[in-house]
Amino acid sequence: MSFKSLDELRAACLDLPAGSDAAADAVVRRQDTLTKPKGSLGRLESIAAWLARWQGRDIPQLDRVKVLVFAGNHGVTAQGVSAFPSEVTVQMVANFAGGGAAINQLARIAGAELDVIPLDLDRPTGDFTQGPAMDGEAFLAAVSAGYGAVTKDLDLVCFGEMGIGNTTPAAAISAALFGGGAEKWTGRGTGVDDAGLVRKITAIEAGLKRHAAAVADPLGIAAALGGRELAAILGATLAARHHGVPVLLDGFVCTAAAAPLARLHPAGLAHTLAAHVSAESGHRRLLEALRLPPLLDLGMRLGEGSGACLAVNIVRSALECHARMASFAEAGVSEK
């Protein structure tokens, strides 16, 4: 789908299919017959039901899992908000292609396909302290690119990102959507020093002030303060909902990118799970605001979809227990 206007995109964000209660209930009923005390596998049991609900299958599957990593560059890096130069984005995309990044190893171990999608890396977004990061046309193009990257034949999708400086728009979007000011949401990203952290907070405060008129509209916030890779993740999250594909969200940037959908629709992120909580300081607060409890807390802050890809192994474990455990009757084990 190629969105032609913000109104068309907003309508798509409000028209979200519900999951299958019948499929989720079928999983819960089976869980209660398996050779274990009821509920003793904890979140593994709810993960299996979540898969069934959003796949719309009584017997969920994980035959095709994909990691989508979107890459973009940011004009706000001119404000000295990152410890690394923006050319690292292009260099890391080449590293992904060569198989040398963490996500390459984690995707292989998880049995997941990996697609890396660069978005106009030679044309950074605008510096949001001076004007909007993207005009309507650029924002819709990036959202549409993300939407088109998710296909109906996937069983599970993980989103990741690469973009030097992108924890700055993530913090700005979080502050605009949930309030509390720049300092509450801003962390050190790739490792800026104290002076860099002050520059980062100052840039976000300037962006929030300049684009105060956009705060009433989550899509306006995403365009004015975001980035192409964040907009693409928003579009991909929306496509996954429309196509019946469950989503594992990665860290702070991915979660902030998808958050406008939750502000537009009260169940906008019901088809997603937070794979992990990042060491980036704003992520835990954002997950709390979205009521998305993380599966993992490993102190990671790499991005690239790394935490989401790790969590695929947990989802696979949940499905294997659900599908392959014997029932009390099958195993000849006495029930309570």
Catalytic residue among 45, 161, 280, 304: 304
Structure tokens at 222: 């995403």
Instruction: Kindly state the helix (H) or strand (E) to which residue 272 belongs, with its residue range.
Output: strand 272-274
CB 235 within 8 A of CB 147: yes
Distance CA 159, CA 225 (A): 20
Residue of 157, 82, 155 whose CA lies nearest to 117 = 157
Q: First-to-last CA distance in the chain? A: 53
Q: Is 71 helix (H, G, I), strand (E, B) or coil?
A: strand
User: Quick one: residue 245, left, alpha or beta (phi over 0 = left, psi -120 to 50 = alpha)?
Assistant: beta
CB 112 within 8 A of CB 309: yes
Q: Is 44 helix (H, G, I), strand (E, B) or coil?
A: helix
Classify residue 273 by its DSSP letter: E
Which residues are bridge partners to 68 per DSSP? Answer: 115, 159
Whether 45 is a known active-site residue: answer: no
CB 287 within 8 A of CB 294: yes
Q: Which residues are part of the catalytic machinery? A: 304
